[in-house]
Amino acid sequence: MKLKIKYVFLMGLFVSVLGMSCKTTGGTTTDSLVEDTVPPDLSGPVDETSLEALAQAQAQAEESRSWAEYVRGETYFPQEWEFAEDRYSTAKSRTDPPETKAETYSRVAEWKGIGAAYDDIFNKSAEQFALEQEKALAAAREAAVSAGAGELVPDRLAQADEAAASAKKKYQEGDLTGSVRAGKDAWDRYRVLETIARAHTKQQEADQYDFFSLDSDNYMIAADAGNDAVDQYDAGNLVQAQDSADESLARFNQVVKNGWIATVEEKASAARQWREASLAVKANVAVKGDYDAAERIYNQAHVAFRADEYTSAVELFEQSGQLFMAVHATAQEKRSLAEEALLEAEQKLQESEAKAQSAEAIIGGGE
């Protein structure tokens, strides 16, 4: 069964210039900052306007924290990070809603102060991070290419390359904040494309061995998630694209695992039946050396199965099954020959006894 994901990766779709996936951060622009001015009248109960200001201040602080974390502020400035984290935890722990406008705007000021602390960490960490960013992006690109993104989604890989080139250019121009932003965009894109390519590889494995018939539900969910990841990537929604790509990869992994488990168990069952048949004819005694060799491979197959080395397990179970079948045939032949020999000996014994009796009768009659 061929699904959309089989083709959507390979189509040369027109790709427009995508917007950045991340919002601006507090310490570098003022686009989403809470207004610095506070209403002159802070008396009275909390209202919708003050609650919106509080939500916006907290959201901005959360974003500033995310950016400071991204540039590894905790590593570069551990004391400042710990101080900001303490303030953040204290503010975050207040779950009771404010009752007055004065209390609300007090919390607004608290969150703005927290955001400013994270912005400061971001600004101080950006230079060192931007300096190291080029190596990280090169590694992320290599991972995507190794996974097959270059052949599968070349146009989209080119977009990520453009973002990486922009990050390098901005760094050379002294725009550290712009460099970090463009670098994150590139890094996110490389990660999404790597995951999409890995999911596609797993789908090909599932198709090669017809595992769809064994787990069609997971296969369909995985294919849909893969399509969503591509669409979301093209729309610039990289966070959602990564989530969908992760879902696709996880589901296809499950399809492949379930398929291999069923295949291995089928081979193991056949090997087990021949092993039991061999024991029934005493092959472990009649052809001990050959039986022991089959037993060793049979045990190796179980070890490979437990280690999730499914292709090896299939091969080893098949090999051990064939060996057990051979030793069963050999032991059965020896058993048949032994039974014939025993029967022949019994017949000869009976003939001997008959002759002896006849001789005794003759001798006895002569007396």
Answer whether 287's CB lies under 8 Å from 334's CB: yes
User: How much is the pTM?
Assistant: 0.72
The closest of 166, 199, 200 to 180, measured between CA atoms, is 166
In this structure, what token pair is assigned to residue 171? 């760094």
- Residue 308's SS3 state is coil
Residue entry with tokens 């040369």: 12
Distances (CA, A) of 227 to 129, 155, 220, 232, 302: 34, 16, 11, 9, 37
pLDDT in tens, the chain (367 residues): 334 444 333 333 222 222 323 333 444 443 444 455 567 678 889 999 999 999 999 999 999 999 999 999 999 999 999 999 999 999 999 989 999 999 999 999 999 999 999 999 999 999 899 889 999 999 999 999 999 999 999 999 999 999 999 999 999 999 999 999 999 999 999 999 999 999 999 999 999 999 999 999 999 999 999 999 999 999 999 999 999 999 999 999 999 999 999 999 999 999 999 999 999 989 899 899 999 999 999 999 999 999 999 999 999 999 999 999 999 999 888 877 766 667 766 776 776 766 667 667 677 655 4
Percentage of the chain lying above the pLDDT 70 cut: 83
The closest of 199, 202, 203, 194 to 249, measured between CA atoms, is 199
The span from the CA of 50 to the CA of 44, in Å, is: 11
pLDDT tens for each residue of 290-327: 999 999 999 999 999 999 999 999 999 999 999 999 99
- The confidence score (pLDDT) of residue 298 equals 95
* Long-range contacts of 283-292, Cβ-Cβ distance < 8 Å, separation of 24 or more: 283/324, 283/327, 283/328, 283/330, 283/331, 286/330, 286/331, 286/334, 286/335, 287/327, 287/330, 287/331, 287/334, 290/323, 290/326, 290/327, 290/330, 291/324, 291/327, 291/331
pLDDT tens for each residue of 125-163: 998 998 899 999 999 999 999 999 999 999 999 999 999
- The confidence score (pLDDT) of residue 353 equals 67
Residue entry with tokens 């992994």: 253
The span from the CA of 197 to the CA of 191, in Å, is: 10
